[in-house]
Amino acid sequence: MLHTPHPPTPRPRAWSRRRFRAAALLASAVSVCLVAASAPPAPLGVGDRLFPHLGNPGYDVVAYDLSFTYSGGNSEPLKAVTTIDARTTADLDRVNLDFAHGEVDSVEVDGEPAGFATAGEDLVVTPEDALDEGEWTRITVRHSSDPVYPEDRQGGWVRTSDGLAMANQADVAHLVFPCNDHPSDKARFTISVTAPDGLTAVANGLPTSVDRAGGATTWTYRTEHPMATELAQVSIGRSTVLHRTGPHGLPVRDVVPTKHRAALEPWLEKTPGQIAWMEDKVGRYPFETYGLLIADATTGFELETQTLSLFERELFTEPAYPRWYTESIMVHELAHQWFGNSVSPGTWSDLWLNEGHATWYEALYAQETADKPMAARMKAAYGASDRWRAAGGPPAAPEPPKNGSKTGIFRSNVYDGAALVLYALRQEVGRPAFERLERAWVSRHRDGTATTADFVRLASEISGRDLGGFFQAWLYGEKTPPMPGHPDWKPTATDQAPAAGTGKARGE
């Protein structure tokens, strides 16, 4: 198992080279610092159209080290230590972190105590010495992580019948730990969880150690690939970890409530075949492991947390859900490992690239394995598309989430509405070019971020023609353009639900 090393521990900078800058610059530099220091802490953001205060400028996180200590009660705050290794991209007198639901005990920057204050949903850190552009820095925050939330600010920790899981999408990882909470700043994660004996903890990536002492056990996991904060996962509960082998020897591990292990096994054994099916469509699975985390909780959604997708138990045990439907939802979250996780959105307006592709492969799997025609589902989506655009915006320009909205930006326009764009694209360029595009997209942008503009450029390159006008109409138009090859498809007066639900919020 190959691990990418963390950046070197930053050197102490006390009495650093800053103290020896040219005397001619000293007076003006001191003046600027005094003005900056006197300004009150303020929340910042990276300017995302949908979440303007999410993320922070001036640095790039390379690695997170998260440590949680769980008392055994899922309504009590966890003790936590978050360590962030980052490289500055600008001169910084202060460093803003996203953090909004927990008590901060102390902050250190490169081993030295640092000042801190809150501003909006930011934790504003003031190091003893300002940071120069291009420096490595290590920020350590000792804090609590509270799994109980106010009614109007849900998300982050999910309380299950026997412990906790995590659901941070889209903008609530910073309710769990301090971070740069935007998918454009991906980093590697090391996650350690200490819990009383009798409980099991699992996190993203692969295990590196298990230590038992004093009636408690500490599990440590590490990711081999960079990950967005919204995809972090920690499970704590009375769980069993099941192991099997996927394509190419891929380790597949599932985390299930121990008492439901036997009932869930017939579903879990399908995962290796589903991975092989996806690999046949778009290429090799992009991470070091995969599996399902099945939680004893009612959330109303499933979630593609990296290498360990979160599912409600009732999806598999509620008889009302047809077998083909459950399997297609499993594929929806699996497809996200390529589309949304390995290739993350550059901004949240690019969400259609995540959800549209996951919905596409969900529907394609249902067509190929359960005789549920893709064309029928897309025709129904076409009929509803104008209403979806009016209610939530076009696929690549969704309307901002409303305060307190449970589903936020996760609306039909970025699920079946976005899959409809992909169907139109395949109709426009033909199946061979479309399939080459899909493979090239996940290969070219693996472990990175990409935008709608990147997808338009690549589609034009692969097809050998300028598709700018096509995408402008389909992604940004108020009305749905005519469907290539299907001039008979028309908007419908009333909603006709597509043939399967979405992977994020069934029934909505």
Give per-residue pLDDT as tens, 128-158: 999 999 999 999 999 999 999 887 777 899 9
Whether residue 486 lies inside any domain: the answer is no
Mean pLDDT, residues 258-275:
97
DSSP state letter for 442: H
Task: Provide φ and ψ at 140, rounded to 5°.
Answer: -120, 125
| Residues whose CB is less than 8 angstroms from the CB of residue 142 and which lie 6 or more positions away in sequence, other chains included | 80, 81, 104, 105, 106, 107
**Beta strands 216-222; 206-213: pairing state:** antiparallel
* Residues 272 and 399 reside in one and the same domain: no
User: Is there a single domain that holds both residue 228 and residue 253?
Assistant: no
Residue 324: both structure tokens together = 């083909």
CB neighbour class for 210 (10 Å; exposed up to 12, middle 13-18, buried from 19):
exposed
Residue ranges with strand state E in 70-174: 78-88, 95-98, 104-109, 112-113, 115-119, 122-126, 136-145, 156-159, 164-167
**Are 201 and 244 members of one domain?**
no
293 and 271 part of one domain:
yes
What confidence score (pLDDT) does residue 25 get?
36
The pLDDT mean for the chain works out to 90
Q: Tell me what the mean pLDDT of segment 18-27 comes to.
A: 35
Question: What's the distance, CA 256 to chain centroid?
Answer: 22
Closest C-alpha among 241, 298, 281 to residue 264:
241
Task: Cite the beta strand spans of 127-245 per DSSP E.
Answer: 136-145, 156-159, 164-167, 188-196, 200-203, 206-213, 216-222, 234-237, 239-245
Which domain, by its residues, includes 83? 41-236
Question: What pLDDT score was predicted for residue 351?
Answer: 97
Question: Which pLDDT value is given to residue 16?
Answer: 39
Banded model confidence at residue 402, pLDDT cuts 50, 70, 90: confident
When pLDDT is cut at 50, 70 and 90, the band that residue 375 belongs to is: very high
Q: Specify if 147 maps to a domain.
A: yes
Look at residue 182 and tell me if it is in a domain: yes
Arithmetic mean of pLDDT, 472-499 = 87
- Could you tell me which residue, 5 or 353, shows the higher pLDDT? 353
User: What phi and psi, each to the nearest 5 degrees, are found at residue 169?
Assistant: -75, 135
One domain, residues 288 and 401: no
One domain for residues 292 and 431: no
127 assigned to some structural domain? yes
User: Does 144 lie in the same domain as 243?
Assistant: no
Same domain, 225 and 244: no
pLDDT band at residue 14 under the 50/70/90 scheme: very low
Q: Cα torsion at 469, 475, 478, 484 (round to 10°)?
A: 60
Residue 27 in any domain: the answer is: no
Q: Look at residue 462 and tell me whether its pLDDT is greater than 80.
A: yes
Same-domain status, 256 and 382: no
Distance CA 161, CA 158 (A): 10
Q: Which of 188-202, 396-410, 444-458 shows the lowest per-residue confidence on average (mean pLDDT)?
A: 396-410
Give the three-class secondary structure for 429.
helix
CATH code for position 457: 1.10.390.10
Structural domain ending residue among the three candidates 272, 303, 337: 337
Q: Which pLDDT band, with edges at 50, 70 and 90, does 62 fall under?
A: very high
Task: Answer yes or no: is 14 within a domain.
Answer: no
pLDDT at 405: 63
Asked if residue 173 lies in contact with residue 179, where contact means CB atoms within 8 angstroms, the answer is yes
Q: Are residues 213 and 275 in the same domain?
A: no
14-23, 157-166, 344-353, 401-410: lowest mean pLDDT where?
14-23
What confidence category does residue 499 fall into, taking pLDDT thresholds of 50, 70 and 90? very low
What is the tally of helices (H) and strands (E) in the chain? 11, 21
* Residue 333 and residue 419 in one domain: no
CATH assignment of the domain containing 195? 2.60.40.1730
pLDDT over 70 (residue 1): no
- Is the residue at 346 inside a domain? no
Instruction: Give the pLDDT score at 497.
Output: 52
Q: Indicate whether 227 belongs to any domain.
A: yes
Is the model's pLDDT at 28 over the cut of 90? no
What 3-state DSSP class applies to 102? coil
| Same domain membership, residue 406 and residue 297 | no
Asked if 80 and 67 touch (Cβ cutoff 8 Å), the reply is: yes
Per-residue pLDDT, 90:
97
- The number of beta carbons lying within 10 Å of the beta carbon of residue 30 is 10
The number of domains in the chain is 3
Sign of CA dihedral 253, 257, 258, 260: negative
Stretch 387-401: mean pLDDT: 95
Looking at the DSSP assignment, which residues form a beta bridge with residue 86?
61, 137
Per-residue pLDDT reduced to its tens digit, 305-337: 999 999 999 999 999 999 999 999 999 999 999
**End-of-domain residue from the set 187, 217, 236:** 236
Mean pLDDT confidence for 58-65: 98
* Domain endpoint, select from 309, 337, 365: 337
Q: What's the rounded mean pLDDT across residues 9-29?
A: 37
Cα–Cα distance measured from residue 164 to residue 159, given in angstroms and rounded to the nearest whole number = 5
Confidence (pLDDT) at 36: 44
* Residue 114: pLDDT over 50: yes
Task: Give the whole-angstrom CA distance, residue 183 versus residue 162.
Answer: 30
